[in-house]
């Protein structure tokens, strides 16, 4: 009840009290599993992943089926949210197959589909997706059925099938709202708004986008971010530019909070993994030290002839401890690099780029140096993915990033914001110089062709430049202005550089 009222601290205190006093092992197990869920909702991710790691280590010994179901479900959900899709699929599959009830089969199947979608390995006509919807509907499980149906419709809307989907969306509207599940309701409202917008029905699109915001009020989820972007597109289509700019700013703030939260989750997961690895290595080292101490004791009781063996073992101890310390250091360094680098291109990821950009802007304020921010978005990237597949899209992203990195000058800060969007921070350049740098990057990419085996394709990008020479410098304002200029470049025909007003 406390969780449903968003009183997470109250819920956690009660779970702790129950875990400490319950005599029934099944009650303690279920309370521990529910506590991890409460920690996640309270955004105490490091504690949540730490507790999850402990519960997974104890999973073979868990006897209560409800507790096992909770742990497997939470594992599939949390691991998918930090991009560990293969592990998420493994635990979701175990949830689906271990206890074949209608709920576990449906919930496990939906978690598997969600992870496949995160890997870009799911299509709207996938038999697994269609079969899950039918099975969950036949089993009387409306919530997972609705989530799977929303996933299918979102994939179909991306293909521009709004006219075909709108009757189905409208027919399912009341049944979805009857579930009273905020995430599912707001997702359905977003799908309706998207369909109406594609068909040019701006009033209906505005109404459903607003309803999506209301359904997910107080939550920090993807549907909330999507609803704000839809309202920006609706007002822009209606010609209401002041309102469109207001919604665009709110969308960027919400998207930044959402992505920052994703980054915090990922860093918490990597930190817990690193600490668990370090703990295991420390235990191994202590175990080896204990073995060596026993050997030393036997050596002391032996004759003087064993002195040489004692010295050799002492050197072995030093080598083992040094090697273990080196492994711990390498592991920590590896996880730190993963937390700061984009896994595909090797450049700074969004969280690291924004953190360093904030620092450099503060330094620029002290010297009153002019600054400029460039937003870069690859042209027709969705068409490349749809035509050639996501491996081809990944190759395009890597080659574009490598081309621009080769063109960078000393002091220029470059990173990937997400998807096909990149950013470049320039310190000490006047607007005309910043425009020239962006133009140089555009020309460098325009000379590139990506080899896809049977043929090669030409790739281009649109650039938006926002400059300022008057401190204080606001990173959010620079992002909004540069992004708006980039959209103007898209509307102006792509493969060009536009300067923010």
Angstrom distance (rounded) from CA 447 to CA 405: 15
Convert the pLDDT of each residue in 200-250 to its tens digit.
Answer: 999 998 999 899 888 877 677 788 888 889 899 999 999 999 988 999 898
pLDDT at 48: 83
pLDDT at 358: 94
pLDDT at 329: 54
What are residue 246's phi and psi, to 5 degrees? Answer: -60, -45
The mean pLDDT of 187-196, rounded to a whole number, is: 88
Please indicate whether residue 372 or residue 339 has the higher confidence score (pLDDT): 372
* CB 106, CB 83: distance < 8 Å: no
Share of the chain above pLDDT 90, in %: 36
Alpha helices (H) in 375-459, listed in sequence order: 381-388, 390-407, 431-446
Angstrom distance (rounded) from CA 462 to CA 498: 8
Q: Residue 495 — pLDDT band, cuts 50, 70, 90?
A: very high
* CB 438, CB 465: distance < 8 Å: yes
Convert the pLDDT of each residue in 39-60 to its tens digit.
Answer: 888 888 788 888 888 888 888 8
Q: Which two tokens stand for residue 487?
A: 């959209």
440 pLDDT higher than 80: yes
* CB 73, CB 95: distance < 8 Å: yes
Q: Which two tokens stand for residue 212?
A: 């999506």
Convert the pLDDT of each residue in 396-437 to its tens digit.
Answer: 999 999 999 999 999 999 999 999 999 999 999 999 999 999
Contacts of 264 (CB under 8 A, 6+ apart): 43, 45
- Encode 110-149: b = buried (16+ Cβ within 10 Å), e = exposed: bbbbbbbbbeeebebebeebeebbebbbeeebbbbbbbbb
Angstrom distance (rounded) from CA 251 to CA 257: 10
Angstrom distance (rounded) from CA 482 to CA 435: 12
pLDDT at 325: 59
Beta bridge partners of 377: 421, 462
Convert the pLDDT of each residue in 152-184 to its tens digit.
Answer: 878 887 777 888 888 888 887 888 888 787 877
pLDDT at 467: 95
The mean pLDDT of 304-313, rounded to a whole number, is: 70
């Amino acid at each position: 009840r406390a969780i449903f009222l968003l009183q997470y601290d109250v819920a956690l205190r009660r779970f702790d009290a129950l875990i400490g006093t319950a005599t029934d092992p099944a009650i303690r197990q279920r309370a521990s599993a529910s506590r991890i869920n409460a920690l996640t909702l309270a955004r105490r991710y490091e504690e949540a992943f730490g507790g999850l790691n402990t519960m997974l280590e104890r999973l073979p010994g868990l006897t209560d089926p409800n507790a096992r179901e909770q742990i497997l479900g939470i594992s599939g959900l949390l691991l998918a949210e930090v991009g560990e899709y293969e592990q998420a699929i493994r635990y979701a599959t175990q949830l689906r197959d271990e206890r074949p009830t209608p709920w576990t089969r449906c919930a496990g199947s939906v978690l598997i589909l969600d992870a496949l979608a995160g890997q870009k390995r799911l299509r709207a006509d996938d038999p697994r997706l269609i079969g899950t919807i039918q099975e969950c509907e036949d089993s009387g499980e409306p919530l997972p059925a609705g989530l799977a149906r929303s996933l299918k419709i979102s994939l179909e809307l991306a293909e521009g099938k709004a006219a075909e989907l709108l009757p189905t969306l409208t027919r399912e509207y009341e049944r979805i709202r009857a579930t009273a599940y905020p995430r599912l309701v707001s997702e359905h409202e977003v799908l309706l708004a998207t369909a109406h917008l594609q068909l040019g029905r701006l009033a209906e699109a505005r109404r459903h986008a607003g309803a999506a915001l209301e359904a997910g009020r107080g939550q920090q989820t993807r549907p909330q971010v999507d609803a704000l972007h839809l309202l920006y597109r609706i007002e822009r289509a209606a010609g209401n530019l002041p309102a469109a700019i207001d919604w665009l700013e709110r969308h960027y703030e919400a998207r930044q909070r959402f992505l920052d939260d994703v980054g915090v989750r990922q860093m918490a997961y990597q930190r817990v993994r690193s600490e668990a690895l370090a703990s295991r290595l420390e235990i191994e080292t202590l175990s080896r030290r204990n073995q060596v101490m026993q050997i030393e004791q036997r050596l002391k009781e032996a004759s003087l002839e064993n002195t040489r063996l004692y010295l050799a073992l002492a050197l072995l101890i030093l080598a083992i401890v040094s090697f273990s310390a080196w492994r711990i250091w390498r592991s920590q360094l590896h996880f730190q690099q993963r937390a700061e680098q984009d896994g595909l291109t090797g450049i700074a990821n969004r969280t690291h780029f924004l953190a360093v950009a904030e620092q450099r802007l503060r330094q620029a304020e002290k010297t009153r140096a002019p600054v400029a921010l460039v937003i870069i978005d690859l042209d027709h990237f969705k068409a490349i993915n749809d035509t050639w597949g996501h491996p081809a899209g990944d190759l395009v992203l890597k080659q574009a990033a490598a081309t621009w990195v080769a063109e960078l000058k000393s002091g220029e800060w470059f990173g990937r914001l997400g998807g096909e969007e990149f950013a470049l921070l320039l310190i000490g350049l006047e607007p005309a110089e910043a425009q020239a740098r962006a133009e140089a990057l555009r020309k460098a990419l325009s000379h590139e062709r990506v080899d896809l085996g049977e043929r090669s394709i030409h790739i281009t990008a649109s650039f938006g430049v926002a400059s300022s020479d008057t401190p204080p410098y606001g990173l959010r304002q620079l992002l909004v202005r540069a992004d708006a200029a980039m959209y103007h470049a898209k509307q102006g025909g792509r493969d060009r550089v536009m300067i923010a007003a």
